Amino acid sequence: METGASCRLEPVLGYTPAPLPPDETARLEELHRMEILDTPAEERFDRIVKLAARIFDVPISYVALLDGERQWFKSRLGMEPPQTPRESSFCGHAILQDDPLIVHDARRDMRFAGNPLVIGPPFVRFYAGQPVRGPRGYKVGTLCILDPRVRTLKPEEVALLRDLGLLVEHELAMRDAIAWQKEAVRAREALEAKQQELARTVEKFQTEKLRSDELFRTILPEAMIEELKASGTVAPVFHPEVGVMFADFSGFTLHASTIPPAAVVEQLNDCFCHFDWVAAKHGVEKLKTIGDGYLAVSGMPEARPDDALRLLRAALEIRDYIAERREAAAAQGQSFWNVRIGLHLGPLVAGIVGVRKISYDVWGDTVNTASRLESAGQPGRVNVSRSFYERVRSWVDAESRGALPCKGKGEVEMFFINSLREPPAAPPTAGAPNGERKSVRLDPYSREMSQARI
C-alpha cells in the first residue's frame, strides 16, 4: 500500500477546544459579579440536578459555570471532581449557542472524539447541555446531562431540558436578587451594548481565525506550524525508532460490490471512526486513510518506552472489533470484510510535502516494510517483523512463520501475534537508550534524507 496525503499528527489534544464567545469579557464580568464561584452546595440547584437525572434516566447531571480557564460545578451528580479544564469541556461549545447542544455519539463527533471524558472514564457518548444565563442575560454556564450510551432526545424532551435550564436561571436570579444598584447597572449595560457591538465585529474575525488555526493543527504538529509561519518551510525530522501499523481490509472489493455505494462509505466511516477512537485510547497517532487502508504510528514526535506495546494493543483491538462485526453480519446472513494488519519497528523520516494542500507524511524502509508485512499477512491476523516481535515477546503469545518472501524485500522473518498474556515485572523498553532515540532535524539533501526517499 502506497502512502499519500497525511492526516493530523499531534498527540496532545485529539479534540477541539471551543472558541471564545464574542461577549467573553462581559460574560466573565457577569459571572464574577455574581460571586457564586467556589461557594458551598445549595439545595435549590441540587434539586434541579437530581430531577434532570431522574427525568432523563442518566447517570451524570450537573450545573456548570464557565470561568476563564475552568468549568466549575455548582451542583453535580455522578461527577467526582469539583471542576475540570475549560478547554476540554463540552459546555464551552454549548454556550456558543442559544438552543441546547446535543451530541448523540461523541465518538463520531470530530470536536469530542478524543476528549478525556470520551476515551477515558466515564466514557461519555451522549451529551446534552442547555446554556443558562445570569441575571444580565449573559450565558454563564450550562445545565447538562451525560450518558455512556448513544442517545437521542425527542422534541418534547428538548423542550423539557430548556424548562429545567430556565429553573436554573430563575434560581440564579433569585440568588442575585440582593445585588446592589440595579438602576446603575442597567444604565451601564446600555453603554456597554454599543461597545459590545464593536467587540462582536472584532471577535467574529478572531473566532474565524481560531477556526482556521485549529484546522491547520489537524494537519501538522504545533511546532511545525510555528516554523512554517516563521520561515515558510519546515525541515524534515529523522526519528531513529518508530512503530508503524498498516491495516487493510481484505474482501473489500467483493463485499462492496454487493451493497449500495452509500452503505460502503457508511460502513467504512463506522470502522475508521472506531479505529480513531482505539488509536486515541492507546496513545497511537493516526496518520491517514488511503481508500480502505489505515496507517498509524507510535513513537513520534516523542518516543516512549512502551511505543511498540501500545501499538500492538491498538492492532489487537482493531482485529477483534472487525471480528465482532463479521460475526454480527454472519448472524444476519450478511457478509463483512476482514482485516490484515502489519507491524514493524525502525527508523523513518517525517516532513511536509507540497505547497498547495500541503500534507504531513513519513518515508523510509520502515514504512515500506510495514506495508509489505500487511500484504504478506492473513485476514484476521496481526503479522509482525522480527524487530517488532523482539520488543514485545515477553508480553505475547505468538507463532513463528519463518522467513517468507516479501515483494521488494527478499525474505523477511515474520510472526503472527495471537494475544497478550500476563505481563512481566517491567514493561518492554526501547532497544536504544533514550538519548539515542531523540529525533533529529535533517538538511533536505542529507544522506539520511536521500535514503528515506529511496
Q: In this structure, what C-alpha cell is assigned to residue 6?
A: 497525511
Hey, what's the cell of 121?
Answer: 472514564
Cβ of 104: how many Cβ atoms within 10 Å? 14
Domains and CATH numbers, the chain: 24-215 (3.30.450.40), 222-453 (3.30.70.1230)
Q: Grid coordinates representing 304?
A: 516512549
| Partners of 402 in beta bridges | 414
Whole-prediction pTM: 0.61
Torsion on CA atoms 169, 171, 172, 176, rounded to nearest 10: 140
- DSSP 8-state class, residue 44: H
Peptide bond into 122 cis (omega under 30): yes
Buried b / exposed e along 120-156 (16+ C-beta atoms within 10 A) = eeeebbbbbbbbbbbbbebbbbbbbbbbbeebebeee
Start-to-end Cα distance in the chain? 16
Give the distance from CA 206 to its chain's centroid. 24
> How far apart are the C-alpha atoms of 341 and 376, rounded to whole Å?
9
Mean pLDDT by 10 residues, the chain (454 residues): 39 77 96 94 96 97 97 95 94 96 95 94 96 96 97 96 96 79 61 78 75 66 70 81 94 85 92 94 89 90 90 96 94 92 93 74 89 94 96 94 88 94 60 50 52 43
For 172-227, give the DSSP string. Answer: HHHHGGG-S-HHHHHHHHHHHHHHHHHHHHHHHHHHHHHHHHHHHHTTS-HHHHHH
The amino acid that residue 404 corresponds to is L
- At residue 3, the pLDDT reads 38
User: How confident is the model at residue 200, as a pLDDT?
Assistant: 79
Helix or strand run (H / E) with residue 265 = helix 261-281
Contact 203, 24 (CB under 8 A): yes
2, three cell numbers: 502506497
Closest CA to 31 of 75, 66, 76, 69: 66
3-state helix, strand, coil in the chain (%, to 5): 40, 25, 35
